[in-house]
Amino acid sequence: MEHHANIVPWQMLRDEIGIGLHVVPMSDDGVIDMEAFEAAFNENTKFVSVIHVSNALGTVNPVDQMCAIARAKGVPILVDGCQAAPHMKVDVAALGCDFYAFSGHKMCAPTGSGVLYGRAELLKKMNPFMGGGDMILSVSFEKTRYNEIPHKFEAGTPAIMPVVGLAAAIRYLDSIGLEAIARREEHLTTVAIQAIQGLGGVRVFGPTGHRAPVVSFAIGDVHPHDVGTILDREGVAVRAGHHCAQPLMRRLGVPATARASFAFYNDEADVEALITGIRAVQEIFG
């Protein structure tokens, strides 16, 4: 269920330095196999990287348990929280992760902004990945002494405007309250799934229990791009495509899905518009 962002960089590293990659399987409804996760560790395991919330399925992975397991095995773990941070309260210390990443553009902030959290102890041991201004304490032609964390990882003039925008976005979300956001989004998601299932002929992908506010679906054998075009004409914006998760699409046996997603600014009228749109698809392709 991983996004390409958590697949491709590891393959690049594999090709560069020859690491081995091990992928943990999931069930048909998109739930990670925790027994397989624990069994995947061996004496060669150097790093674990997992998505917190699946952008394509809405699965909320038990990352607290996964972090506990990784910690017990002495292996650092990175959590990709791009879909979690905007929709739920995240406490990296309570989670017990070593690294946590999320992007600003999925939480009302400008593109080009984002956060990579790392435990100080690990960051101190790591070398800079980029050289330039700001990341140094002193430079001579003979030697460079690097700055303290986090500056040693922030070479050059930073993306000031997007990052200021990200801070404003975080304050804005905090002023609404992430618990309140999560409650509203969960309500809309539940209402939407019930309504979609009530229509008949629509397959909803992902876990049956708790999920993040995305609903990937297929209307009979209508291609998701046709679904997307018709919903667009009905005034409903969905994502149609592989959601940067091609291995997941293959696992589900579909070329792509249509995906409706909810945020705190949606309401039940939006769910109704979605249902009306799906009915229009069924009518046209009936």
Q: Contact residues for other proteins (CB under 8 A)?
A: 222-226, 229-230, 233, 241-242, 255-256, 280, 284-285
List beta partners, residue 216.
Answer: 259
Longest Cα–Cα distance in the chain: 74
Distance between CA atoms of 141 and 148, rounded to whole angstroms?
21
Catalytic status, residue 244: yes
**Least distance in angstroms from the C-beta of 204 to other proteins:** 21
Minimum Å gap between C-beta 225 and other proteins is: 4
**3-state SS class at 167:** helix
Q: Which is nearer to other proteins, 213 or 224 (CB)?
A: 224
| Catalytic option among 82, 97, 108, 244 | 244
Question: Which two structure tokens, joined as six digits, stand for 58?
Answer: 């809405």
Q: Are strands 239-241 and 214-219 parallel, antiparallel or unpaired?
A: unpaired
Label each residue of 82-99 as H, E or C: CCCCCCCCCCHHHHCCCE
Closest distance to other proteins from the beta carbon of 29 (Å): 23
**Which residue, 187 or 223, is less far from other proteins as judged by CB?**
223
Cβ–Cβ < 8 Å for 48, 76: yes
Strand, coil or helix: what is 281? helix
Indicate if the alpha-carbon torsion angle 131, 133, 135, 137 is positive or negative. Answer: positive
Nearer to other proteins, 119 or 223 (CB): 223
Task: Give the tokens for residue 43.
Answer: 């004496």
Residue 223 Cβ, how far from other proteins at the closest point, in Å? Answer: 4
* C-beta of 146 vs 285, nearer to other proteins: 285
**Catalytic annotation, residues:** 244
